[in-house]
Amino acid sequence: MRVTATIIPDVLELEPEVLGDQRGYFLESFRQDVIEESVGRVSFVQDNESKSRRGVLRGLHFQKPPYTQSKLVRVVSGRVLDVALDIRIGSPWYGRHVACELDGERKNMLWVPKGFAHGFVVLSDEAVFAYKCDNYYMPSHEGGIHWNDPALGIDWKLDPSLILVSARDSSLPGLSSADSFRYEEFSADRIYRR
């Protein structure tokens, strides 16, 4: 599996080797040793999956301490633009984001660490999106940032009139409301390499 740092070094793109022939394909979608070598100590406790049609945008979501989550996200089928937004106050990358196209053909994945808001928009007719989390979902500690906050400058690769969001996501506040994460507490070295 090839692991590549993005423009924010704590966010990684992973691309497995896909072995294919006339029967179909085979790949290793997860290897603990690769995660430990690339990220550090992570134990996943929950897998999630969603199916959405073109234009559906889910995000930008995060969970507040002490129920923060890291995610390893991928597309089973279809194509999405996946976004990880650094919300760690004091981070050299605070307010910046990584936008990575995840494709069911390439089978690439994105590592989204704690201290990042996460979201994606479906670019294909439909997409099945799956991800591993290292902490359980806790509704009382969910948070989010409005997907179209002008301070973020995210190009979602679709005309905004085609984007469909939930009522909850359409009422999320802007970046300045995310004040639960301090870089000194949520740097990758402190969380994963202790």
Query: 16 to each of 27, 56, 57, how far by Cα in Å?
Result: 7, 26, 26
145 vs 169: CA distance, rounded Å: 8
Strand order in the sheet with 109-112: 2-5, 12-15, 109-112, 71-77, 126-133, 46-53
State how far the alpha carbon of 26 is from the alpha carbons of 3, 22, 71, 72, 143, in Å: 19, 12, 23, 19, 37
Cα angle 84-86-92, degrees, rounded to a multiple of 5: 135
Please say whether the beta carbons of 110 and 100 come within 8 A: yes
Strands 71-77 and 109-112: antiparallel
- Active-site annotation, residues: 61, 131
Q: What are residue 5's DSSP bridge partners?
A: 12
